[in-house]
Structure 1
Amino acid sequence: MRIEAVQGDITEQDVDVVVNAANLTLLGGGGVDGAIHAAAGPKLLEACQALRAQERFADGLTVGDAVATPGFDLQARWVVHTVGPNRHAGQVSTTALASCFGRSLEIAVELGARSIAFPAVGAGAYGWDVADVAGVAAGVVKGWAACAQNGVLEGQTQPSGLELVRFVLSGPAALAAFERALA
């Protein structure tokens, strides 16, 4: 599995799965969430509204969990929405932050994805320092890659087909933080 960090626009990534740093409503917002909703088109909002109509998501998506929708007008086949902990609201659990990355990887494997692109979930509007996010994300993905290489993924009956995990960062400081964490 190749793991890389690049500077760019997550909505333009030619991957199977794009991860959305969503809010718990799943109905769009600012930052990465707003950009993905805008690029995917109105059918993404309709799909998210349909999810919210399900009993499981009646109160929204739980922090650290993830759920998939089609990618619609994105190059990506799917969008995996995950909700990071909001430090501004007192949600300071690195375990919940790690779960965002882990659950997104699990869902990507369930979908049969070969490639996935992540933003810096939790950084920005949710108040996490990008270096902290990079450290947590790199730890989860490296651990996942090591387990996948050994053919042992918790809860999986078949090996991961993921070949590429890409972190797509919006600026040079975030890119540098992820490059350090992945080194």
Structure 2
Amino acid sequence: MRAPLGDFDHATPAPDCLDELTAPVAEAVRRWSGSVPAEQIVYVDTRPEWADTPVFLEHYGKDLLDRSANCVVVAGKRGGETTPAACVVLSAARVDVNGAVRRQLGARKASFAPMDTATGETGMEYGGITPLGLPGEWPVLVDSAVVDLPYVLVGSGRRRGKLLVPGKALAQLPNAVVLEGLGVV
């Protein structure tokens, strides 16, 4: 199979390579029920040491910057309550944590979650967190620019490998909220 974007040596429909994914991501693909068929979610094998965006783009093509998204875990706090959430923005943008995220979560303060919290709560590797397979009660905040892409490159749950997902499929994730201006340049 040829990847729908980028130039990758190995591309496979995600349902055909569940063993390459972390357990929560594999389960999300297995149970996929969006209007986009699960077979349109594509796994591409990549080197784990190249997982971070700048290095990844250096090796796989700078043209992927506008078609790549990062998924980061945040925590909104109000009183003694903490609300975890995931934010998906284009790789060239940064998450508007103190504006859009804080308002959406109804929090007095919002910040990036510590790495051990992000990996421990998601069951995913740092540098590979993906919006597929997150804890079911978490809001998944997705920048509208990501949803508008025919395909977007995101993590696979591991540092090795990436998923190519139709942008509109991310808007159909459980608890997804599409926001204008979540990512700022």
Superposed pair shares fold, TM > 0.5 = no
- The TM tier, using the shorter chain, reads under 0.3
- TM-score using structure 2 length: 0.27
- Indicate the structure whose relative CO is greater, using CA pairs within 8 Å and at least 6 residues apart: 1
Larger helix proportion of the pair = 1
